[in-house]
A and B are shown apart, each in its own frame.
Chain A
């Protein structure tokens, strides 16, 4: 078990280093960092001094080591566009994205599993057919279109919900939350649906396919032959086996919610890190891009680790995979 976790940790570290390398490459070789930091009027000597001060004349491995060291301390330099430390900008924006992602992710997971199980069990029911057809529309409907449609219906026509922004937020320490004010909660509704709907359809289709697969297995047939009730067969046996592979993919889906938030945040002008990233790309604000990349990679790696641990907890075969000498 410990060996397993250590191995996964090592792998995660390697992935993070690879991402850091890409990110460093961006930072160092895309455009001239000096040119981006100082204005046109800086003299050659000033530029050279800055270059020396930033260590840009050092050997590349040294620079990379310094980049990683800074990244570990959460320092990614100064945003070219905003002239503020990148870490501050991200810290300010992160709560908005996390709140949005958490709410839509949870909803997508819960509803996705429930609908997936339902459609798998009632395969021939009309409601299942309806849900499956709707889900195909859901998969074909680009996130931004969902957002636009929702805005048109609920904000423009019905004037029920706000079309952009976070509403009023409350500061709790360093965390700004929209969950404590009425306008904040109202503002969350449309973006959450937009962000969650696609994930919901994916999770639902995945759960359904997996469940159908499990329902075909011998142990389910045998469970029926043993005379267990449908409820026991479906929700005790089939569901547990279904959710095992679903954990992995759902984990990745939840992770990708953070990335998909880029689109939702653009549609709703939601002040999160996704909007920050898209602006950074448009303005070639390399430090912000680099930092965002590392942040996303970190979130993914952490989620992957959690998924692995969950797997470990649920699947007895993994736990017993390497019986120690003691057994």
Chain B
């Protein structure tokens, strides 16, 4: 995986030599034929060596649902991405935990993103969306990722944590470094920078915990953790506290951010769909699901086999890494009609695998959908087109499918 080497030809490379973990597949937007070939020729595929060690790739929709549902055979411990956690920070959180402990910690955090709480937040989100959109420069080229996608998701995170609003950019930074190390998912954040950043993050949130202790009410995440008997002393277990904070920071950041950018790109690549949307903004809720499917902001989740098992005719051994490629499941023609097409009014748009399935299914899915829905409702009230005017710059990772930059120009109504 040297910097200068070109990616191999997806059809010509022998399956045994294909490196499906290569982070350049997403960075160069070259992944489609590689995964299409695996789905066709070897949908439960063993890769004997990679920079992250050997692992199985699950690439079909139904097989992903089956693995994701069977938490007893396919454990989320010790890590949920293809690489391993660096051993210098033994963070724990409920996404990388099996029941029953998973259930206790998740239940404590879940109310922050439950629909009742979201209804309370809708007005606030809308006013923030409006302020962001009204502050954009009409006629100039600017970076949609920075001005809209990051800006909006960061404001949302600050709301969920009741984090000091003027320091909210730190949340984005911590999110980026938390999953940016080379050994985890092929990113490029150095260890020293990552450790310093995580320490700063823990320090800030530990101060917030103590400041907030004893305060009445509050539906932010910290207050909820403090009120639940299962998590009320979490601050005394810093690795667990930091782990769960980062889970929510990353979970609420990268995913929505990249779906916000991805929707603009998808509509630009499919002008007929943009026309449909202009003709009928009532299509927005279904389009939001379609954007989330089409983007698949997290390319994979990993499990670890807890026992020897035969799966679809293959012998998976105890301890083997099993990677569910959500990116591939969402393009599986046997489960989704015209899976490679972006169709904003498709039947059954919620039938996608971007949120995962089973007990680890995305907790914030309704929040994500609400943010995207409000954003597009407000965009359509203001702009005829958000035009992409240059090539997007993509993230180098095998985990996060996202954008660093997306140059756009606005065409007001």
The yes or no verdict on A and B being binding partners is no
